[in-house]
C-alpha cells in the first residue's frame, strides 16, 4: 500500500473500473474493499489524523490523508475527496453509509468531475431526501402511506388543530430528520403543541431545516424495510425484507431477514410497492424502502434510504448475493444479472451491532485501545464478522461507536439464534466497553425468541436501562464447574514447578469451595485426560476443554454439550463471562474458605465528594470554578465523545472545593473532575 499526496490527475473511463476510492472509514470501508478486491479492482482509502493507523487504511492499496479528525474537515470535505480521486486515478467513488452517502451535491459534483458515484443518481437522492416530497411521490406511485398532513405547518396552534383532525396519537416529524432526531409522539393537544416546538427547534439545530409535518402514529408498530436494486437499463428488483424493530432510541440494535412477522402475501405486496417507488424515481443502485407495519400487517411507507444500509449483510446471507459488488457493477453500466423470479431465500440471518458503549452506564460511549480483540471465527455461510478494528487499534472519540457487525445464519430462525448466542460468547473485547452483554440478553429474551416484539421492545423490557441483574444464568452449576476445573489446572501447573523443597511440596487436593457474590458451593474436582470431572452435591458433571493458561477464550464440552466461555484470572479470582453474565469466583480449599469468612471486608473509599466522569472523552467545558457555590441542577461540565455531548449537572447544593481537570483535556471513566467541600 502507498500513501499518496493530493495532486491533479486525469480519469479514464473503462468498461469496469480499475480503481475506486472509498469515501468513508471503519467497518463499511473495509467491507467495500473486500468486494472490490474480489473483483480485481484496486482501492483507495481516505483517512483523517485520527485514522492514520485504522484497519481500512491498512487494507487498501493506497491511502490519502484528507485532514484533521473532525468530520467536517475530513470525511465531509467534498473538495478533498474529489481531489483524492483525481490524484490517485480513481474512476469511481463509493460513499458507504453516513457522511456523504446521501448527499445529492456530492454525487453531482463527482459526476461533474468525471468520477462515477457508486450509488443512485443525484435526482433520485434529491427526490427521496425530503420526507414531505418523498411521501407525495409515494402517494403518486400508489404506495401505501400513513394518513397525515404533508404540507408545512406554520405554528403550534395549527399543529394542534391538524393533529386533532388526523386523530391521536400522532407523530410530529422534521422533514429533513433522521436517526430519531426531530421526532415526537403526541397523545393529546398539549403534547402536540410542545412536540411541534421541540421538533422545530431540534430540526433547525440538527439539519438547518425547521419544516415539520404530522402523520398518524401506528400503535404496536414494527419497522420492516425492503432492499431494492436497480440498474440503468430499467431493471428493478427487491431482495426481500429485513426486520429492524429491535431499536433503542430509534437506533437499530438487531436486524434479521426475513421478518418473523410477515406472511408471504404481505411480503410480496411490500416488495412490489418498494419497486414501484424506486421506478418512480428511476432508481439505479442499492436502496432501501422503509415501512412501518401495524399489528394487522397493514403497512405504510416511511422513507427511502438512498444508500447501502448498515444491515445489508443479513440480506446477503439469505440470498447469496454480494450487494456491494452489484452496486459497483450497476455503476459501471452493467445490467442486473437476474430477474425477480431468480431471487430465492435461504434460511435465516440475524445481525447484532457490536458497539463501543457501556450498557451499565446508560449506553454512554466508550473509547480507547483494544487491549484484546478476538472476534468469533468466521464460518462461510454461517458466521460473518464485518469489522473496522483490530487488536491494538483504537476507538476514537470523533466518530460513531460501531466496532463490528456480527451476522449469523441458520436453516431456521431458532438455528440462527443459537448460533448467534455461541458467537457472542466467543467475541472477546477488552479495552473499550461493549454492548455484547446487552446483545446476549436480547437474543435470550423470550419475546425476542418468540418474534412477538415491536419497536417499543427495549423501552418496555428495560425501562430503567440495562444492568447485570437483568441477566441470570440458566445453569449456574455450569459456571461453578468451569471455575473449579480452571482452578484445578492452575494448581496442577503449580505442582509441577521444579525445585520445591522436599517435604514442603505443594499438596493438591480434590475438595474445594467455590465462592462468589451469591455463591458458596462445595465441589470435588478430579482431573482426567482432557479436562475434569466435577461433583456438585449429588450431580457429577463432565467438563472437557482445549485451553491454555492465559487464554481468554475456552472451548469445550459440558456434559457432552459444546460451549465457549471467557475466562480471566484476576489476582486470586476467576472472572467468567458467558451469555452476557459476568461472575467472579474464588476457589479455595475448604479450610481456607472457612477462614476467609472471618476476614474483615475492605470498605470502598468514599467518593461522594467528587464529580466523576461517567465516560471517556474530551472535557469540552468546565462551567464552575473553585470556591463557587452551586445549586442542584446547575451545569457543571460538558464531556464530548462520538458526536455526543453529555452535560453533567449538580445533584445537590454545595460548594466547589477544587477543579481537578481543565477544559480541553481528555478524561477517563471515573476520573475525578471536581471536588466538593
- Claim to verify: residue 64 and residue 181 sit in the same structural domain: no
Residue 503 is assigned to a structural domain of this protein: no
| Structure confidence at residue 669 (pLDDT) | 86
Mean pLDDT over each residue of the chain, to the nearest integer: 92
Q: How far apart are CA 159 and CA 242, in angstroms?
A: 33
Percent of the chain having pLDDT more than 90? Answer: 76
Which residues, including other chains, have CB under 8 Å from residue 407's CB and lie 6 or more apart? 313, 314, 317, 349, 350, 351, 352, 383, 384, 385, 386
Rounded distance, CA 675 to CA 609, Å? 6
What is the C-alpha separation between 313 and 473, in angstroms, rounded? 30
40 closest CA partner among 22, 17, 63: 17
**Domain count of the chain?**
5
Are 409 and 364 within 8 A, CB to CB? no
Cell 472535557: give the residue.
619
Mean pLDDT on 577-583: 93
Judging by DSSP bridges, how do beta strands 42-48 and 62-67 pair with one another?
Answer: parallel
- The confidence score (pLDDT) of residue 4 equals 41
Judge whether 448 and 462 are in contact, CB under 8 Å.
no
Q: Give domain status of residue 605, yes or no.
A: no
Residues 280 and 401 in one domain: yes
Length of the chain: 677
**What integer pLDDT is reported at residue 7 of this predicted model?**
34
b/e sequence 474-500, b meaning 16+ C-beta within 10 Å: eebbbbbbbbbbbbbbebeeeeeeeee
DSSP 614: S
pLDDT at 14: 46
Instruction: Let me know whether 263 and 342 are in one domain.
Output: yes
Separation CA 634–CA 624 (nearest Å):
9
Rg (CA), the chain: 28
- Residue 26 within a domain: yes
pLDDT band at 501 (very low <50, low <70, confident <90, very high): confident
CATH of the domain at 577: 3.30.700.30
Question: What cell was used for 99?
Answer: 457522511
The pLDDT score that the predictor gives to residue 11 is 36
The domain of 524 spans 476-495+509-596
- State pTM to two decimals: 0.86
- Rounded average pLDDT over 47-72: 97
Among 216, 244, 270, the domain boundary falls at 216
**Least trusted range by pLDDT, from 19-33, 114-128, 576-590:** 576-590
- Shared domain for 536 and 452, answered yes or no, is no
**331 SS3 class:** helix
Given this model, what pLDDT does residue 273 score? Answer: 98
Mean pLDDT of 206-214: 85
Which of 94-103, 109-118, 603-612 is least confident? 603-612
The CATH number for 236's domain is 3.30.470.20
Query: How are beta strands 666-667 and 581-589 bridged, if at all?
Result: unpaired
For residues 403 and 271, membership in a common domain is answered with yes
The verdict on residue 123 lying in a domain is no
- Mean pLDDT within 140-147: 93
Residues 207 and 315 in one domain: no
Q: Residue 177 falls within a domain, yes or no? A: yes
Query: Is a pLDDT exceeding 80 seen at residue 372?
Result: yes
Residues 106 and 177 in one domain: no
Residue 643 has pLDDT above 60, yes or no: yes
pLDDT over 80 at 5, yes or no: no
Average pLDDT on 614-641 reads 90
Overall average pLDDT of the 364-384 stretch: 94
Over residues 607-622, mean pLDDT: 89
Is 140 a member of any domain? Answer: no
Residue ending a domain, choose from 572, 596, 620: 596
Residue 626: asked if its preceding bond is cis (omega within 30°), the reply is no
By annotation, the residues acting in catalysis are 303
Indicate which CATH number applies to the domain containing 650: 2.40.50.100
Strand ranges of the sheet holding 181-186, from the earlier edge strand across to the other edge: 148-149, 212-216, 170-178, 181-186
> Which residue, of 171, 187, 216, is where some domain finishes?
216
Confidence of residue 6 (pLDDT cuts 50, 70, 90): very low
Q: For residue 152, what pLDDT band results from cuts at 50, 70 and 90?
A: confident
Q: Looking at the structure, tell me whether residues 209 and 297 fall in a common domain.
A: no
Is residue 198 assigned to a domain?
yes
- Both 524 and 647 in one domain: the answer is no
Residues 556 and 588 in one domain: yes
Q: Is residue 128 part of a domain?
A: no
- The verdict on 307 and 449 lying in the same domain is yes
Q: What is the pLDDT of residues 154-184, one digit of tens each?
A: 999 999 999 999 999 998 988 876 656 788 9
Between the ranges 236-245, 571-580, 634-643, where is the mean pLDDT highest?
Answer: 236-245
Mean pLDDT throughout 76-94? Answer: 98
pLDDT for 180 equals 64
Is 586 found in the same domain as 440? no
CATH number at residue 52: 3.40.50.20
Instruction: Report the pLDDT averaged over residues 588-617.
Output: 85
Amino acid at each position: 500500500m502507498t500513501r499518496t499526496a493530493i495532486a491533479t490527475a486525469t480519469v479514464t473511463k473503462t468498461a469496469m473500473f480499475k480503481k475506486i476510492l472509498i469515501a468513508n472509514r471503519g467497518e463499511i470501508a473495509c467491507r467495500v474493499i473486500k468486494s472490490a478486491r474480489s473483483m480485481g479492482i484496486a482501492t483507495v482509502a481516505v483517512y483523517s489524523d485520527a485514522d492514520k493507523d485504522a484497519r481500512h487504511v491498512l487494507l487498501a492499496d493506497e491511502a490519502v490523508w484528507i485532514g484533521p479528525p473532525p468530520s467536517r474537515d475530513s470525511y465531509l470535505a467534498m473538495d478533498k475527496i474529489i481531489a483524492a480521486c483525481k490524484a490517485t486515478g480513481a474512476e469511481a467513488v463509493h460513499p458507504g453509509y453516513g457522511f456523504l452517502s446521501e448527499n445529492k451535491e456530492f454525487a453531482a459534483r463527482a459526476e461533474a468531475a468525471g468520477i462515477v458515484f457508486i450509488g443512485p443518481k443525484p435526482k433520485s437522492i434529491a427526490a427521496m431526501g425530503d420526507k414531505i416530497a418523498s411521501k407525495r411521490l409515494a402517494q403518486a406511485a400508489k404506495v401505501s402511506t400513513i394518513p397525515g398532513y404533508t404540507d408545512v405547518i406554520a405554528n403550534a396552534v395549527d399543529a394542534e388543530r391538524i393533529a386533532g383532525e388526523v386523530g391521536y396519537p400522532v407523530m410530529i416529524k422534521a422533514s429533513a430528520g433522521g436517526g430519531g432526531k426531530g421526532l415526537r409522539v403526541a397523545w393529546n393537544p398539549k403534547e402536540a403543541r410542545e412536540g411541534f416546538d421541540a421538533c422545530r427547534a431540534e430540526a433547525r439545530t440538527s439539519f438547518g431545516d425547521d419544516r415539520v409535518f404530522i402523520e398518524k402514529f401506528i400503535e404496536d408498530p414494527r419497522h420492516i424495510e425492503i432492499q431494492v436494486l436497480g440498474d440503468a437499463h430499467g431493471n428493478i428488483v427487491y431482495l426481500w425484507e429485513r426486520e429492524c424493530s429491535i431499536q433503542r432510541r430509534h437506533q437499530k440494535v438487531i436486524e434479521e431477514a426475513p421478518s418473523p412477522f410477515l406472511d408471504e402475501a404481505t411480503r410480496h405486496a411490500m416488495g412490489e410497492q418498494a419497486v414501484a417507488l424506486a421506478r418512480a424515481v428511476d432508481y439505479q443502485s442499492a436502496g432501501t424502502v422503509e415501512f412501518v407495519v401495524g399489528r394487522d400487517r397493514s403497512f405504510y411507507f416511511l422513507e427511502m434510504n438512498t444508500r447501502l444500509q448498515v444491515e445489508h449483510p443479513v440480506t446477503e446471507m439469505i440470498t447469496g448475493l454480494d450487494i456491494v459488488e452489484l452496486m459497483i457493477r450497476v455503476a459501471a453500466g452493467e445490467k442486473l444479472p437476474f430477474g425477480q423470479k431468480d431471487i430465492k431465500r435461504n434460511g435465516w440471518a440475524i445481525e447484532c451491532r457490536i458497539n463501543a458503549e457501556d450498557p451499565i452506564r446508560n449506553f454512554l460511549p466508550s473509547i480507547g485501545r483494544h487491549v484484546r480483540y478476538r472476534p468469533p471465527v468466521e464460518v462461510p455461510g454461517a458466521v460473518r464478522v464485518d469489522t473496522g478494528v483490530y487488536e491494538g487499534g483504537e476507538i476514537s472519540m470523533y466518530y460513531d461507536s460501531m466496532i463490528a457487525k456480527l451476522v449469523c445464519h441458520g436453516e431456521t430462525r431458532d438455528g440462527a439464534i443459537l448460533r448467534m448466542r455461541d458467537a457472542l460468547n466467543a467475541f472477546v473485547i477488552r479495552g473499550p466497553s461493549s454492548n455484547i452483554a446487552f446483545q446476549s440478553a436480547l437474543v435470550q429474551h423470550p419475546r425476542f425468541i418468540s418474534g412477538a416484539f415491536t419497536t417499543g421492545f427495549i423501552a418496555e423490557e428495560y425501562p430503567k436501562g440495562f444492568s447485570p441483574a437483568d441477566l441470570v444464568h440458566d445453569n449456574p452449576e455450569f459456571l461453578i464447574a468451569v471455575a473449579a476445573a480452571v482452578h484445578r489446572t492452575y494448581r496442577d501447573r503449580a505442582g509441577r514447578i521444579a525445585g520445591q523443597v522436599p517435604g514442603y511440596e505443594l499438596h493438591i487436593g480434590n475438595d474445594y469451595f467455590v465462592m462468589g457474590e451469591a455463591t458458596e458451593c462445595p465441589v470435588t474436582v478430579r482431573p482426567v485426560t482432557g479436562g475434569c470431572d466435577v461433583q456438585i452435591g449429588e450431580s457429577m458433571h463432565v467438563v472437557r476443554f482445549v485451553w491454555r493458561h492465559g487464554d481468554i477464550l475456552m472451548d469445550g464440552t459440558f456434559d457432552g454439550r459444546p460451549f465457549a466461555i471467557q475466562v480471566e484470572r484476576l489476582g486470586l479470582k476467576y472472572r467468567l463471562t458467558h451469555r452476557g453474565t459476568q461472575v467472579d469466583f474464588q476457589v479455595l480449599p475448604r479450610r481456607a474458605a472457612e477462614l476467609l469468612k472471618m476476614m474483615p471486608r475492605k470498605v470502598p473509599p468514599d467518593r461522594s465528594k467528587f464529580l466523576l466522569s461517567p465516560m471517556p472523552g474530551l472535557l469540552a467545558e468546565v462551567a464552575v470554578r473553585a470556591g463557587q457555590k452551586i445549586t442542584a441542577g446547575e451545569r457543571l461540565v460538558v464531556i464530548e465523545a462520538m458526536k455526543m455531548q453529555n452535560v453533567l449537572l449538580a445533584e445537590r447544593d454545595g460548594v466547589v472545593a477544587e477543579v481537578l481537570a481543565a477544559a480541553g483535556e481528555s478524561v477517563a471513566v471515573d476520573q475525578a473532575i471536581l471536588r466538593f467541600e
